[in-house]
Structure 1
Amino acid sequence: MSDADFLVARLIDQQVNFLHAAERIEGDTDNEALHDLRIALRGASSLLLPLRDHPGLTRLDQAVADLLRRTSALRDAQVLAEELERRGWQVEADKRRQKVEETCRRCMHGRVARRVNAEFERWPTELRRVDAETGLRKLKRRIGRRMERDLQKLREALVLQGGCTNDWHVLRLRIKRVRYLCESYADWLTAKRKLLEELKRAQTALGSERDLSLWCSAAEKDPSLQPLLTTWLVSKVDAQRDVRTAMDRLLKCLDDRRGRKGPVAALSPVVG
């Protein structure tokens, strides 16, 4: 299989996942459809990340990023509804879930979702054009270098930002980016299972802490949620402890992988 065939096959997999999740949103069949749709979008984004230096291949990447931004708050609201339901607050959960479902359906009929669909259809032809004209020169090597660079940046972030809760959201984005890159190109990269496990552990811990931070913020502003504020604040302390443990494990894994510990440089902003 050529590199172009591999990329097209992987992208079609994500397109199928996206379309299936979109159909479930339209049919209101389950509560995981939005989550699965965003996973498909992130999978496509990770696959496209090493190809951003080809201008003709960036339109799908931009459309995917736009739809991810537009559905981020919806997913946060959905997770809050699930938490309220778990705690027996069914009325509040149903009220929020209904609003999320209605907004999701409108979003999937909107301009941005239509653009994502159109770019999914266009991208394979554009990739083959780029491959025929310039070739996907040394793509595997470039992706390997990209993974190593992102892992180094992640290590720097763990050292420089790991102790500050205000920086944890950006740190979570770095972890997600390198993890999804490793998973998207698992056939080409040599990331160890231990590394992938620690990336997932840290991402999960940071995600739980972020959810609790959002819920506490919502409870401070919404009188209907204030009875849960103390419970969430206590859980947030536990979640922050879990984050620090997970980050320590991940940093040790990265240091063991490179066989060294050294000084770190200033970090550049996360893009994408």
Structure 2
Amino acid sequence: MLPGRITALGLSSDAALAAAALAARWLKRTRDAAGRLRQGSDGDALHDFRTSLRRLRVLLSSYRGPLGRAATKTVRRRLKLLARSTNAARDAEVWAQWLRGRPGARRATEAAALTKLRVHCEAARGRHKKRLLSHTLKRVYKIADELKRRLARVRGSKRRYGGEAARAIAKAARQMDRRFNVVRRGGAERDAHVARIRVKRLRYLLEPFAARNSRARRIVVALQELQALLGELHDRHGLAAHIGRPAQAEADRLERTLRQAWLRPGLDRRLIADALAFSRALKSR
């Protein structure tokens, strides 16, 4: 059973109103991060913008039934395109940071390749951020204003928040399981990347309960660790396409860690089972 204090999260409250309140919170954070990004002096602004936008998208997708016109396919597609427009800037920023932190290469050819890519990434980072400022951020405010109005018009759905959250968590856990079944059998780089997206989705849906529920908190912490590992793996795969051996060696090491520390002991399956058990307990409240 869940601790009684979880009722403070409003499990019996209306699903549409609860989801709209959560979405409004992440919409505000997305807009605030866009403002910091425009100022240009905050090194965390791009990361915060992408994270807030991603959380907003997960909420709208997971609760699109109760949210109605605030989460239509058109609204969600606009946010998806907005997020996609930041990918190149994010990759250039992460790659440049990794390359700056690497020790000098032993082989002259490898050192030259690393230096060339580092210069390229730094230049690309500047270009992509400039495009963000001139194109993407202009769209942010227009989209945010429209979504804010739609969220303000959301009315009660007569659906219980606890029940809707339970269904969303269970669906996300099963999606994660299906993708990890592919990764366990070997899979491809793309499968590991999609698995990471599934991990994040489940984590975001559980986080509203983590502050007040120890079971949810344990699952979220473990999902964060798995997400970080898969994120590093994705970044090294991306770099390996440009510089080959140095990044590929790191990717191989991360893949071994994934299999030895997570897949072989079955920790990923245990996480999924725990999330499903939590969703059942949530639904019964």
**Which interval holds the TM-score relative to the shorter structure?**
0.7 to 0.9
Q: How big is each residue's C-alpha offset from its partner over 1:220-256, in whole Å with a ceiling of 9 and x where there is no partner?
A: xxxxxxxxx3221211111111222234422233346
Q: In structure 1, list runs of 5 or more residues that go unmatched.
A: 220-228, 260-272
Aligned pair in 2 of structure 1 residues 165, 11: CA closer, same or farther (>3 Å)?
Answer: same
Cα contact 2:209–2:216 (8 A) shared by 1 = no
Q: In structure 2, list runs of 5 or more residues that go unmatched.
A: 1-9, 104-114, 278-285
After TM superposition, give the deviation of residue 184 of structure 1 in Å: 4.3
Cα contact 1:18–1:37 (8 A) shared by 2 = yes
Asked whether 1:159 is paired with 2:172, we answer: no
Asked whether 1:250 is paired with 2:272, we answer: no
The count of residues paired between Structure 1 and Structure 2 equals 244
Following the alignment from structure 1 to structure 2, what is the Cα–Cα distance between the partners of residues 144 and 189?
14
Normalising by the residue count of structure 1, what TM-score does the alignment of the two structures yield?
A: 0.77
1:1-272 equivalences in 2 (<5 Å) = 2-3=13-14, 5-53=17-65, 54-59=67-72, 60-87=75-102, 91-111=119-139, 113-128=140-155, 131=156, 135-162=157-184, 163-166=186-189, 167-184=191-208, 186=210, 192-219=216-243, 229-244=244-259, 245-247=261-263, 248-255=266-273
Following the alignment from structure 2 to structure 1, what is the Cα–Cα distance between the partners of residues 172 and 162?
15
Aligned pair in 2 of structure 1 residues 230, 84: CA closer, same or farther (>3 Å)?
Answer: same
Return the letter of the residue paired with 1:25. Answer: L
Percent same amino acid at aligned positions?
Answer: 24
After TM superposition, give the deviation of residue 158 of structure 1 in Å: 2.1
After TM superposition, give the deviation of residue 11 of structure 1 in Å: 2.6
Higher relative contact order (CA 8 A, sep 6+): 2
Root-mean-square deviation (CA), in Å?
2.8
Aligned pair in 2 of structure 1 residues 33, 250: CA closer, same or farther (>3 Å)?
Answer: same
Cα contact 1:154–1:174 (8 A) shared by 2 = yes
Secondary structure at the residue paired with 2:159? coil
Following the alignment from structure 2 to structure 1, what is the Cα–Cα distance between the partners of residues 101 and 22?
36
Q: How big is each residue's C-alpha offset from its partner over 1:84-126, in whole Å with a ceiling of 9 and x where there is no partner?
A: 2223756445323211321221233444x24422233213223
Cα contact 1:215–1:232 (8 A) shared by 2 = yes
